[in-house]
Amino acid sequence: MTFSDKLPRPFFILAPMDDVTDTVFRQIVADCARPDLFFTEFVNVDGLQSTGREHLLPKLKITDKEKPVIAQLWGLEPENFYKTTKELAMMGYAGVDLNMGCPVKTVIKNGACAALINNRPLAREIIEATREAAGGSLPVSVKTRVGFTTVDMGWIEFLLSTKILDMLSIHGRTAKEMSKVPADWGLIGQAVQLRDSLSPATLIVGNGDVTNRRDGEELAAEYNLDGIMIGRGIFHDPFAFSQKSPWHEWTKEQKLELFARHIRLYTDTYQDHQRRFEALRKFCKVYINGFDGAAELRAEFMATDSPENALKILSA
């Protein structure tokens, strides 16, 4: 990978989460305790190459503060992966990641993301089209799970056998399991063994239930991983990537001021109603938590319908 020599071992990544890991939240996390790599939210290439393009472009906003950033893509048409990757190469991205693990039923029903585990010819076409478009300028990676309804390490073997992936991020659950059972890191360790025999240059990143850097470092050492990805753990602590988080010591006022900064940056970034205010409600439990009256304040925030009203509530 073009940036791999600059990354520590293990390196840490903020996982892609829809309506969560946009440019605004990535900037907030960067100010608190930045990871080594950011991923965008997942962006649909078929939508980007259609009349709906303008509605999706805000998902691809980035700033220098967040770099290096990898754009995560999903969709069904290899040609659209090709076209989008060509565009991303000129937009300042550090790489392209292919979402082959999202377990959301509506997405799977259309044959995308985790459904590609059961459609390997199409998965190969998508990978090859993306690699061709990337040339030598952008690394190409895949984020996936260890199977569809049951564990299927043949899927991981298939991905590694393409020998054209720079990085493979593996969530230690099947698509059917979603997040309902503990992640199986032993299976991620098996993926490392497959990598060593099939594609030694491919970096392996583990994902699932990691909430802080210390636990991630222990897992990386135990399973010989190149990197660790933290997803939902960031909802518990914006300083999840720090060596020693101060979050549990922060006062109510400090937490609410950080939320207010998030909201102000959101409204400055997405003008002309590019994104809905309601998306900010997902962050209530991040900031409005851990102090007396938090539950009542969250309920009051959830009833607001504008940034102006939200800021009034947080400053009251």
**What secondary structure letter does DSSP report for 87?**
H
- Region of residue 159 (left: phi > 0; alpha: psi -120 to 50; beta: else): alpha
Measured torsion, CA atoms of residues 239, 245, 248, 253, in degrees rounded to the nearest 10: -60
CA gap 241, 229 in Å, rounded: 10
32, 102, 113, 284: the active-site residue? 102
Structure tokens at 93: 């991205």
Beta strands in the chain (DSSP E): 11-14, 37-44, 69-74, 95-100, 140-145, 167-171, 203-207, 227-230
Helices (H), 45-119: 45-48, 53-56, 78-88, 105-109
Residue in this structure with the two tokens 């040339």, named with its chain if needed: 135
* Cα–Cα distances in angstroms (integers) from residue 249 to residues 242, 257, 291, 294, in the given order: 14, 15, 11, 15
- In the block, residue with structure tokens 């829809």: 18
- Closest among 111, 108, 107, 70 to 92, alpha carbons compared: 70
Report the amino acid identity of residue 81: F
- DSSP SS3 for 246: coil
**Does 32 participate in catalysis according to the annotation?**
no
Q: In angstroms, rounded to a whole number, what is the distance separating the alpha carbons of residues 77 and 50?
A: 12
Half-sphere exposure of 84 (CA within 13 A, CB side): 32
Separation CA 39–CA 23 (nearest Å) = 10
Tally of CB atoms within 10 A around 163: 11
Q: Annotated catalytic sites, by residue? A: 102
